[in-house]
């Protein structure tokens, strides 16, 4: 994994958990995580986003990345911290 992808992955690990805390959404969370996190770290990785519209998988199959966005007036997760 490229160094910049690792940095992005580490910064994004805490980003989807509160928006996807329920067990029924773990598979969706893993789908996004698998784009930037090595397989052996998926079991301990989580993301936290304010809305599903805020995240997408970009790039090509061998060089995927997560696209994050905010929309005007969108609530902030954890008070924006």
Please, what's the b/e burial string for 38-68 (b: 16 or more CB within 10 A of its CB; e: otherwise)?
A: eeeeeeebbbbbbeeebbeeeeeeeeebbee
In-domain check, residue 80: no
pLDDT at 73: 77
Q: Is residue 79 part of a domain?
A: no
pLDDT digits (tens, 9 = 90+) for 6-65: 445 444 444 444 444 566 688 899 999 999 999 999 999 988 887 888 899 999 888 899
Query: Is 81 contained in some domain?
Result: no
- Number of domains into which the chain is organized: 1
User: What domain range includes position 64?
Assistant: 3-73
Q: What is the pTM of this model?
A: 0.61
Residue 25 belongs to some domain of the structure: yes
Domain annotation covers residue 59: yes
| 47 falls within a domain | yes
């Amino acid at each position: 994994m490229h160094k910049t992808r690792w940095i992005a992955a580490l910064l994004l690990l805490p980003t989807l958990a509160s928006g996807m805390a329920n067990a029924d959404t773990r598979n969706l969370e893993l789908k996004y995580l698998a784009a930037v996190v090595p397989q052996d770290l998926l079991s301990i990785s989580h993301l936290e986003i304010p809305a599903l519209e805020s995240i997408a998988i970009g790039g090509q199959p061998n060089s995927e990345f997560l696209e994050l966005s905010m929309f005007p007036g969108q609530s902030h997760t954890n008070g924006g911290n």
